[in-house]
A = this chain, B = another copy of it.
Amino acid sequence: MSSNGNTAINNFESIHFNPAPRIAGMVNFGVIGYGYWGPNVVRNLQSISGAEVVSVCDKSSASRRRAHKTSPHVYVTADAMEVINSPEIDAVAIITPVWTHFELAKAALENGKHVFVEKPFASNAAQAEQLIELAEQKNLKIMVDHTFLFTGAVKKIKQLLQEGALGKVYYYDSTRVNLGLFQHDVNVVWDLAPHDLSIMDYLIERSPEALVAAGQRHLNGLEDIAFITLYFPDNIIGHVNVNWLSPVKVRTTLIGGEKKMLVWNDLEADEKVKVYDRGVDITNSEGLYNLLVNYRSGDMWAPHLEQVEALRLELTYFVECVLNGHNPMNDGAAGLRIVKILEAANRSIRKRGSLVYL
C-alpha cells in the first residue's frame, strides 16, 4: 500500500530553529488580496487570539476602500512588497489568483515570512517544489488553504474512515457544479476540483496512480465543464464532476464502502452527512453464474457535526503550527500533490481524455 506521505501531523520532526515571533505567542499577518475570499481571512484572523492583521494589500482601490471601512486601524496598501518587506509581519496570507502565488510566496519566504496561500498552491509542480525547498531552507511554514479539511463534515468522514465504520473504500464520487464564477486565468478544473482533490488526498491517504480527464470549452476559451476519473491503489476509484454552466448548485459526494456508504450534501443546513447501513454481499457458491448477491438495507444515520467555521479552525491551526514549529498536514507537500494531479488533468483534457500516469 503506497502512502502519500500525509503523516505530517502525527510524526512531525522536532524542529531546532524557529524564528521568534515579534510578540511572544502572537503572529502578525499581512494579507495580500482582498477580493472575494480575502475579507473572510481578515475577519477570522482578527477573531483569533494569537493573530493580528497588520496590513492588507490589494491592487483594486475599491477593495482597499472596503478594507479600510471594515478595519480602520489596519494599514492598507496597493504594494504587495510593502507587506512582504515589513519587519512588523511574521506571516503573509496570499489570497490572489493562482498565477501570482509563486512570485508572492517566493518573495515572502525570502523575506523570512511564513506563508498561508490560497489553493491551488501554484501554477505548476516545479514552482511548488521550489517553494517547499525554500521554506525548508528558511525553516518557515507553508500552509495551503485546503479549507474543507477543517469542516465538520470532512472531519466526521475522516473519523468514520479511521474507525473503519465504512470498511474498505470502493469509490469517492463528487459533483461540484454551479452557474459561474468563470475565472479568467484557469479552467473549471483548477477552480473547483482542488477542493475535491485535497479532500480525497486527506481521506483516502493515498495518491492516485493515474487519471483520465475530459472537458469542453463553450464560452471563454477555457474548459467550463470537466469530468475527472482517478485510479487509486486498492481498486478505489475517484470521480469529480465540475461545471460552471449548471443551472443549479450541487455539492454532493457519494462514498461507497464495503460495510457502509455515505452521502455528503454540503448544501443541507443540517444533516450534511448521512451514513447508510447499506451494501452488497456476494457469495460465490459455484462459479460466476451462481453468485448470490445479497443487498443489505438498514438504518440511516446523520451524525451531529461540529459547527465552527472551517476557515477559523484552519487559521487557528496555522497560528499554532507557526508558534510551535509544527508542520501542518495541509503543508506545501500536500499542495504539491494536488498541483500534480491538476497538471495531469490538464494534460489528459488536452488529449481529449487519454490516460495519464502520475
Q: A residues engaging B (CB < 8 A)?
A: 72-73, 170-171, 173, 175, 177, 179-182, 184, 210, 212, 214-221, 224-225, 227, 229, 231, 235-237, 239, 241, 243-249, 254, 256, 260-263, 267, 269-271, 274, 276-280, 282, 288-289, 291, 293, 295, 297-304, 351-355
Closest chain B residue to A237 by CB distance? B216
Q: Are A262 and B247 in contact (CB under 8 A)?
A: yes
Q: How far is the CA of A246 from the CA of B297 in the complex (A)?
A: 12
Max chain B Cβ within 10 angstroms of own Cβ: one of A225, A229, A237, A247? A247
Residues of B within 8 A of A243 (CB): 171, 173, 254, 256
Q: Are B170 and A218 in contact (CB under 8 A)?
A: yes
Q: How far is the CA of A280 from the CA of B261 in the complex (A)?
A: 32
Q: Are B235 and A300 in contact (CB under 8 A)?
A: no
Q: Are A280 and B353 in contact (CB under 8 A)?
A: no
Residues of B within 8 A of A184 (CB): 288-289, 291
Q: How far is the CA of A276 from the CA of B245 in the complex (A)?
A: 12
Q: Are B179 and A245 in contact (CB under 8 A)?
A: no
Q: How far is the CA of A136 from the CA of B77 in the complex (A)?
A: 52
Q: Are A299 and B297 in contact (CB under 8 A)?
A: no
Q: How far apart are A171's CB and chain B's nearest CB, in angstroms?
A: 5
Residues of B within 8 A of A271 (CB): 300
Q: How far apart are A220's CB and chain B's nearest CB, in angstroms?
A: 5
Residues of B within 8 A of A173 (CB): 225, 241, 243
